[in-house]
């Protein structure tokens, strides 16, 4: 169930199945042999349960009922292009298990998120504060008569991607660093109409979801260090 089988070179694929039986005592959801390449955001009936991460987090305990919808949103974080791991396949490399039971009957959805955002998706809906798990946030800002180069910082956000006017500026992951800002070329900005910001937050959004535009980049630091400097 790797990305290349679905002609997915980058980004995300959603893997979905149903729990085959009741799980009344917490069972370990895992992909043995380090089989998540590279991160899997786990949801049960749409509720975020945690993240499996290659080389770091191999399992999550969960309970549920037969027929509950289990989603694994798997993210490709980039390919190794040298050494023994040059064949760096992405996706779920091994079977997903609940304790010793192997889950099967997966529905697999390759996602072209860049194309969706470029076509003004998602539509604007009221925001819930402090949302956890994968979710989109959209907003607008204006720069009357100005379209200078700038840098965007995402205070309180956890991990995800950012688009401005449908252009993907890249990933943010402030807890890991080393960059705390993303470069915004001035040519992307519209000085005569509202500019659209789209944020895909994958883990936990701040209570007050905002983005800041700075006149300088913040590099070579983690979130805690950058926060102290900004204060």
List, for residues 131-145, the tens digit of each pLDDT value. 899 999 999 999 988
Distance between CA 32 and CA 94 in Å, rounded? 7
Residue 210 DSSP symbol:
-
* CA trace torsion 135, 94, 27, 39 (10° rounding): -30
Among residues 215, 213, 220, which one has the least CA distance to residue 174? 220
pTM: 0.91
List, for residues 103-157, the tens digit of each pLDDT value. 999 999 999 999 999 988 887 776 666 689 999 999 999 998 889 999 999 999 9
Q: In the chain, what is the greatest distance between 2 CA atoms, to the nearest angstrom?
A: 62
Q: Which residues contact 3 (CB under 8 A, 6 or more apart)?
A: 9, 13, 76, 89, 90, 91, 110
Residue 83 DSSP symbol:
G
Helix (H, G, I), strand (E, B) or coil at 117: helix
């Amino acid at each position: 169930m790797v990305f290349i089988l679905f002609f997915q070179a980058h980004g995300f694929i959603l893997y979905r199945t149903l729990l085959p039986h009741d799980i009344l005592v917490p069972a370990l959801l895992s992909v043995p042999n380090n089989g998540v390449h590279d991160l899997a955001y786990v949801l049960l009936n749409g509720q975020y349960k945690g993240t499996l991460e290659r080389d770091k987090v191999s399992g999550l305990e969960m309970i549920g009922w037969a027929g509950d919808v289990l989603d694994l949103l798997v993210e490709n974080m980039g390919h190794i292009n040298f050494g023994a791991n040059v064949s760096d396949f992405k996706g779920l490399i091994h079977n997903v298990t609940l304790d010793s039971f192997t889950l099967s009957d997966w529905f697999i959805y390759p996602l072209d998120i860049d194309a969706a955002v470029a076509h003004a998706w998602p539509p604007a809906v009221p925001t819930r504060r402090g949302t956890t798990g994968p979710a989109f946030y959209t907003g607008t800002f204006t720069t009357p008569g100005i379209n200078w180069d700038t840098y965007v910082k995402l205070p309180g956000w956890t991990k995800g991607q950012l688009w401005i006017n449908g252009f993907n500026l890249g990933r943010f992951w402030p807890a890991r660093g080393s960059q705390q800002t993303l470069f915004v070329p001035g040519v992307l900005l519209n000085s005569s109409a509202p500019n659209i910001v789209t944020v895909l937050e994958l883990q936990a959004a701040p209570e007050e979801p905002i983005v800041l535009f700075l006149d300088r980049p913040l590099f070579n630091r983690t979130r805690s260090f950058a926060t102290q400097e900004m204060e």
